[in-house]
Amino acid sequence: MKGYYRDPEATAEALPRPGLLRSGDLGRLEDGVLFIEGRKKELIIRSGFNVFPPEIEGMLTQHPKVSVAAVVPHQRDGNEDILAFVLGEVAATELAAWLREKLVAYKQPQAIFMVDSFPTAPTGKILKHKLSSHFAGQISAWEKEQI
């Protein structure tokens, strides 16, 4: 790769020196094997703790009444809240109680929104970057409850 088309800043960030590529992936090296764990950009920093959305999504989808889940950060009061959008046949309060037994406190979503559908690409992939705007009404109502 020579660089990003007409984007020298992104090129400099991804290719800081010859022979080095910063892909944005997070991984761990174990016994000479590289395990890709997630994406750096998906990282949520909640009260100083690193939270990886795929971990929370994986836990949510372990609930027998949840079929799909997507987790995104939400900036509020100088911190990042964890918002979960869930497709399933379970009440948000029941799901929150179930999660309290499964995840440490700093990984608990501050809000769980039960949804009927997600904004998706033609391939069916959830467009996480559109969740906040797509569900802006529910998020706004939730924020008003927090005051």
What is the pLDDT at residue 119?
95
Q: pLDDT tens-digit profile of 52-81? A: 999 999 999 999 999 999 999 999 888 899
pLDDT per residue as tens digits for the range 11-30 = 998 899 998 988 877 778 89
Domain ranges of the chain: 8-38, 43-146
**Average per-residue pLDDT for the chain:** 91
Residue with tokens 């950009």: 41
* The pLDDT of residue 115 is above 80: yes
CATH of 43-146, one of 3.40.50.10440, 3.30.300.30, 3.40.120.10, 3.40.190.10: 3.30.300.30
* Structure confidence at residue 38 (pLDDT): 64
Tokens in use for 84?
A: 């979960």
Identify the band that residue 146 occupies on the pLDDT scale cut at 50, 70 and 90.
Answer: confident
The tokens for 9 are: 């800043």
User: Residues of the chain with pLDDT > 70: what percent?
Assistant: 97
Measured between alpha carbons, how far is 125 from 122 in angstroms, rounded to an integer? Answer: 7
What global pTM score does this model have? 0.76
User: Any idea which of 2-6, 59-63, 109-113, 131-135 has the lowest mean pLDDT?
Assistant: 2-6
Mean pLDDT across 89-108: 97
Strand ordering across the sheet containing 111-114 = 66-76, 79-88, 111-114
